[in-house]
Amino acid sequence: MNPLSVCVFCGARTGNDPAFAAEAEQLGQGIAARNWRLVYGAGDVGLMGTVARAAQKAGGDTFGVIPRHLVEWEVGKTDLTRYVVTETMHERKKVMFMNCDAIAVLPGGAGSLDELFEVLTWRQLGLHEKPVILINTKGYWDPLLALIRHVIDNGFADASLMDFFEVATDSAQTLDLLSPSPS
């Protein structure tokens, strides 16, 4: 059996609370400690860089995917185990998704939301059954969760949308949710 590959969607910025970077570091370390592979956006800035450096420092396997136009802006991290440069953002998301078994979403901005909603939409359409976990560091995703409930309450999505992802309070809980249960 191959080790688990976890795709991490997260910010190309660190945000204004040190807890966000601390959580990214713990996630990267935890993925490496379990001999899992980190799949992410190949940037060396923001939470992206933090999670990747932590995984690397802990001896982890890292797979980064970055579109050509962001190599300079996101400082493409070329010292990864595997570094892939795509032509477009769409290709980036596809390659990341196709090379993972699960998705974890740390705090982030519009790009992270785009990635999250694409995999949620695919799940809603029955195109995959990969676990999707929102890491709700210090309640960061609470407004998003309220918006999703609002969408459901107003009849624009079925209540089952809430079943297509889990919410974890931190990286430790995320790693536990992704760990195979003992047989």
Gap between the Cα atoms of 118 and 36, Å rounded: 24
Task: Round the average pLDDT of the chain to a whole number and report it.
Answer: 96
Model confidence pLDDT, tens digit, residues 52-66:
999 999 999 999 999
CA pair distance 181, 49, nearest whole angstrom: 30
Question: Are residues 140 and 20 in contact, defined by beta-carbon separation less than 8 angstroms?
Answer: yes
Q: pLDDT class for 1, splitting at 50, 70, 90?
A: low
The residue type of 93 is K
Residue 78: CATH number of its domain: 3.40.50.450
Question: pLDDT tens for residues 140-155?
Answer: 999 999 999 999 999 9
In a domain, 181, yes or no: no
Is 12 part of any domain? yes
Residue 47 lies in a domain: yes
In a domain, 183, yes or no: no
Cβ atoms of 81 and 62 closer than 8 Å: yes
Q: Which residues pair with 7 in a beta bridge?
A: 39, 103
The answer to whether residue 62 is domain-embedded is: yes
In total, how many domains does the chain have?
A: 1
Query: What's the domain range around 81?
Result: 5-176
Is residue 148 in some structural domain? yes
H/E stretch holding 19: helix 18-33
